[in-house]
Amino acid sequence: MGNNGYVTRPASARAPRLDQVCAAAVEVARAAITEVDPADVGEHLQAVAEGDRLVTHYFECRLAGYRGWRWAVTVTRVPRSRNVTICETVLLPGADALLAPGWVPWQERLKPGDLGPGDLLPTPPDDERLAPGYLLSDDPAVEETAWELGLGRPRVLSREGRSEAAQRWYDGDHGPNAAISVAAPAAARCGTCGFYLPLAGALRQAFGACGNFYAPDDGRVVSADHGCGAHSETLAETAETPVDEMPTVYDDSAVEAMSVSRAPGSVEAAEPAEPYGHP
């Protein structure tokens, strides 16, 4: 048996037919552009059917600074009438038009370092980086402080806030991929440095503060695998200098016998002579 259910057919969208009366009203559409001088309206580009007896005429825009923009004038007429009326006139960007950058909320336009002395940066009440201080978090250090009577902060970092901060620090100038870290010796990592001050809480395993006065990261949060040449265990190795042998001043390997004359009366005449000619 066949299927006797209802048969539905998808409705096909019929393209609007270009109305010839509205399409021929080029000069009527041109005259409707009264916001600028006639010289700022260029050649007629095209006529596009928007609906039944509804046509938009496009004209070239010659205004300075509006390269690629087009004047758009929409006209229409009632059925069985030869009179065309104006619906609207607008200036629209074309495919190669110069456009201003998209609007970005002010809190998203801020960059590190934009906040100066006297500036105020209010935090939205629904900031996902923060959580109410009375809520338990997965950070023991935060819970220890937040639940102390009278010392709890109104809001603390949420898990999303900590993750965002940790990723930003790790990818920044104080992480392992920084130029100074890449150039440092492989063993000169901050986690093994005596000047490394680990953070408290959940970030302790990955981040700390640098306390080396001579290091470029002094007073800044660095990752444990960051590094520099001011590591506490970096010792200056003294190169061994070979000692040159002094030239031989004299050779005592052989003794040459020398006869010494005796002065008259220095010794008894009957006394035998001493060895080696000494009296």
Tens-place pLDDT, residues 181-221: 999 988 899 999 999 999 988 888 899 999 998 889 999 99
Q: Which of 89, 85, 84, 100 is nearest to 58 (CA)?
A: 89
How confident is the model at residue 149, as a pLDDT?
Answer: 47
Averaged pLDDT of the chain: 81
Global pTM value: 0.47
Strand blocks (E) in the chain: 41-51, 54-61, 69-76, 85-93, 130-132, 155-157, 196-198, 207-210, 221-223
Nearest-angstrom CA–CA distance, 70 and 90: 9
Q: Under the phi-then-psi rule, with left for phi > 0, alpha for psi from -120 to 50, and beta for the rest, what region is 106?
A: alpha
